[in-house]
Amino acid sequence: MSNQIGEVVKGEVITDNNELKIYSRDASIFEIKPQLIVKPKDAEDIKNLVKFVGEHKSSNPGLSITARAGGSDMTGGPLNESIILDFTAHMNKILYVEERPPHAVVEPGAFYRDFEKETLKKNLLLPSYPASRELAAVGGMVANNAGGEKSLRYGKTADYVEELNVVLSDGNEYVFKSLTSTELEQKKIQNDFEGEIYRQIHQLLITNYQLLKNAKPDVSKNSAGYALWNVVTSNGIDLTKLFVGSQGTLGIITKIKFRLIKPAKYSQLLVIFLKDLDKLGDLVNELNEYEPESVESYDDNTIKLAFKILPDLIKKIGIGVLFRFIPDAWAIATKGIPKLVILAEVTPHQRKQMPSATETAFTVTGQAGESERDLKTRVQKIKQEIESKFKVRTRIASSKADIQKYWTIRRESFNLLRKHVKGRKTAPFIDDIIVKPQYLPEFLPELNQILDEYKAYMLYTIAGHPGDGNFHIIPLMNLEDEKSRQIIPELSERVYNLVIKYGGSITAEHNDGLIRTPYLEKMYGTEVYGLFEKVKDIFDPQNIFNPGKKVRGDLAYAIEHIKTD
């Protein structure tokens, strides 16, 4: 088959076993060996490959295509036994960045770290970057509807995607963007595959409008299932809301137009050290009252690891990092290691830069033009109030270098665990739960009670975005042990039942993939899950694109493919 595919694409077709092994894994607990890798040169390669797969699907039912960008996904989303499309090799261009209006057009294989360098040259930013910002590519951010440290104020990737070029299952490339009602009707009368999609999707949305409205989780971030409740706008329809977060199951994205923002000119970082988690829920709700730009966290296990592998951190942020740790080392020596460190970044009151799909103007959140001096005074007041009310130790980071130290530990927390814990492996499977912050005082004790029952099989670390009520719980486990692997579905079931009890989502930003797709029917119910299946069938009737993700997941298959080394 590789020879046949080599005749229809210009890019490389790879079957070397060493290369296949690399693409057998992402940042998840899974390992699935593909049949071959294709590194497309351009959209024409993708169109030709999709047509090839469509033509040969009946004689080779296992034939399919899975898109892959940076490979930092934690769900098994870019893993597949058939064809993997690697966008980072050639389709990685940052086509342009414009200041008025602020936006950029980029190919999906561009790494976020490179993209940000170009946007910052014009004082612009895509604020939905994840903690894996140094590893992630923008195509994966779109596929997962990524969020991160700035999502508390600015929202997720779906809020910044204005336009997508997508190759659909008929092998043709289409442009998707927000349409008015008039434009929608024009699409619906087209006598082609695109017209049929608009007709069927619009009918599905209108017929099930109230069901979908009620199904939307009452949280600020959600990547579970297809976001059908976000597609209908006040004056039309926007199918980018459906593609964002769909993990490449509806089509292959070839080009992205992002809306950008102007980042805050300056900020203050309030660092809060908690001896235990008893006050966490109330503390987070109090912090949110001050409208921070972000509220992030990492735990004691991450702190211990950071000191253990200080040489690696020095390589990342320079020799000066050694001196920046002296105050923290002294505090730990005299007052002990905190159970959790919370980072609350506060920026000047300003206009929000994340209008909804129907807004045309920004919403004022506070007094515009707050000076740096006024900001420092305000943060000092917040510090005093937090200390007084919760009896916790705090400090305000003293410099940009001091701030960078804390953010490096937070952003690198997962990679630290992946690379430096001997005898146990990171096992992200309950890694992205979210409930409304107001429920945290009740939710967290119940969650900890469940987790504590499994101490014999795992350690676990906590990091994430407490300001959103979104926590990344990463167990450290011996995946070679059969019993340890068997507790994964059991613990998942119990944790997800708790999340659903509090009206949350089983994944805020990491998406479904192999690990959570089997639980979507539990979260949404049979009727809504059935609509997800209909959407998949409308776009991809032959099941060409990334099978087993978002719908028709197989938990037994997933468990069988957990890596052991």
Mean pLDDT score, 312-333: 61
Q: Which residues share a beta bridge with 294?
A: 345
Q: Which of 213, 238, 259 corresponds to the end of one domain?
A: 259
Q: Say what angle helices 310-317 and 400-411 make with each other, to 10 degrees.
A: 120
Give the model's confidence band at 318: pLDDT under 50 very low, under 70 low, under 90 confident, else very high. low
Mean pLDDT score, 206-231: 97
Residues 219 and 293 in one domain: no
Residue 131 falls inside a structural domain: yes
The predicted pLDDT at position 333 comes to: 66
Mean pLDDT score, 529-550: 98
Residues 184 and 132 in one domain: yes
Residues 53 and 154 in one domain: no
- pLDDT top residue among 400 and 107: 107
- pLDDT top residue among 291 and 400: 291
- Tell me the backbone φ, ψ of residue 285, rounded to 5 degrees: -65, -35
- Please say whether the beta carbons of 144 and 511 come within 8 A: yes
Cβ neighbours for 317, distance < 8 A, ≥ 6 positions apart: 404, 405, 408
Residue 479 falls inside a structural domain: no
Give the model's confidence band at 321: pLDDT under 50 very low, under 70 low, under 90 confident, else very high. low
Give the model's confidence band at 364: pLDDT under 50 very low, under 70 low, under 90 confident, else very high. very low
The predicted pLDDT at position 365 comes to: 35
Residues 163 and 232 in one domain: yes
Burial zone of 94 (CB within 10 Å; 0-12 exposed, 13-18 middle, 19+ buried) = middle
Pairwise CA distance, residues 33 & 434, whole Å: 32
Using the predicted structure, report yes or no on whether residue 322 has a pLDDT greater than 60. no
Q: How far apart, in Å, do the first and last CA atoms of the chain sit? A: 30
The predicted pLDDT at position 358 comes to: 38
pLDDT tens profile 12-55: 999 999 999 999 999 999 999 999 999 999 999 999 999 999 99
Residues 408 and 297 in one domain: yes
- pTM, two decimals, is 0.92
The predicted pLDDT at position 325 comes to: 61
Using the predicted structure, report yes or no on whether residue 368 has a pLDDT greater than 80. no
Peptide bond just before 441 cis, omega within 30 deg: no
Residues 225 and 120 in one domain: yes
The predicted pLDDT at position 464 comes to: 86
Pairwise CA distance, residues 472 & 439, whole Å: 17
- Please say whether the beta carbons of 509 and 223 come within 8 A: yes
Mean pLDDT score, 222-245: 97
Using the predicted structure, report yes or no on whether residue 357 has a pLDDT greater than 50. no
Alpha-carbon 538 to chain mean position = 25
The predicted pLDDT at position 367 comes to: 38
Residues 56 and 180 in one domain: no
pLDDT tens profile 88-146: 999 999 999 999 999 999 999 999 999 999 999 999 999 999 988 999 999 999 999 99
Cβ neighbours for 45, distance < 8 A, ≥ 6 positions apart: 9, 10, 11, 38
Q: Which of 373, 396, 420 corresponds to the end of one domain?
A: 420
Print the domain residue range for 184: 94-259
Mean pLDDT score, 299-316: 72
Pairwise CA distance, residues 439 & 172, whole Å: 46
Q: What is the DSSP string of 278-302?
A: TTHHHHHHHHHTT--SEEEEEEHHH
CATH number for the domain that contains residue 196: 3.30.465.10
Using the predicted structure, report yes or no on whether residue 350 has a pLDDT greater than 80. no
CATH number for the domain that contains residue 30: 3.30.43.10
pLDDT tens profile 177-203: 999 999 999 999 999 999 999 999 999
The total domain count for the chain is 3
Mean pLDDT score, 436-458: 92
Mean pLDDT score, 319-325: 56
The predicted pLDDT at position 317 comes to: 56
Residue 464 falls inside a structural domain: no
Residues 365 and 328 in one domain: yes
CATH number for the domain that contains residue 311: 3.30.70.2190
pLDDT tens profile 457-488: 998 888 889 999 999 998 889 999 999 999 99
Q: What percent of the chain has pLDDT over 90?
A: 78
Q: State the chain's mean pLDDT as an integer.
A: 91
Residue 295 falls inside a structural domain: yes
Pairwise CA distance, residues 493 & 72, whole Å: 25
